[in-house]
Amino acid sequence: MNEFLQRDLDYVMRLDEVMWGCLLLASTLSIHVAGVFHTTRVSLALVGHPKKPRPGFGMGVLILVALVLIVLHLIEVTVWAGFFTWKDAQPNPFSAFYNALVNYTTLGAGYLPLRWRLLEGMLGMAGLLSFAFSTSALITLAQVLIMRPALIEQQQKD
C-alpha cells in the first residue's frame, strides 16, 4: 500500500501531457462529428427517397448507421492507440489498442505508465462524448423513421 501511495505522490502533471490530451480529444471529436454528420445526411436521404416505405427498410438503415458508428469509434480508438505506440506508452500496437479501447469505453483499467496517466481520463471523456453523440444520432434517426409513415399520410391528404 505504501508503494502505491508513494507512486501517486510522485506523479506530476506535465503541460505537454495536457496539450497532447487536448489535441487527441479534439481529433477524436472531429472525426466523430464529421462521421456522424455525413452518415446522418446519407441515411436521411435514403429514408426520404422512396415514396412508400418498404417494411424493414428503416430497420436496415438503422443497423447500417449503427455499423458505421462502430467503425467510427474503432477509428478513434486507433488514433489514441497510435499515439500510445508512438510515445512508447505501451509495449506493442496490440496492447496499445486494447488499452485505448478499455479506457475509451470508460472501463478504465489504468494500464498507462505514470508519465501518461492523465490521458486515461481524457480518453474516457472522448469515449463518453462520442457514445453520447452516437446515441443521440441513432435516436433522432429512429424518431424520423417512426414518424415518416404519418408524415407521408399527412402529405397525401393535403
By the 8 A CB rule, do 80 and 104 touch?
A: yes
What CA–CA distance (Å, rounded) separates 78 from 73?
9
Confidence of residue 144 (pLDDT cuts 50, 70, 90): confident
Q: What is the pLDDT of residues 117-127, one digit of tens each?
A: 889 999 999 99
Q: Which amino acid is at 99?
A: N
pLDDT at 31 over 70: yes
Percent of the chain predicted with pLDDT > 70:
82
105 CB neighbour count, 10 Å cutoff: 15
Which domains does the chain show, CATH number per domain? 18-157 (1.10.287)
Residue 90 DSSP one-character state: S
CA pseudo-torsion sign 11, 14, 16, 20: positive
Name 75's Cβ contacts closer than 8 Å, sequence gap at least 6: 31, 35
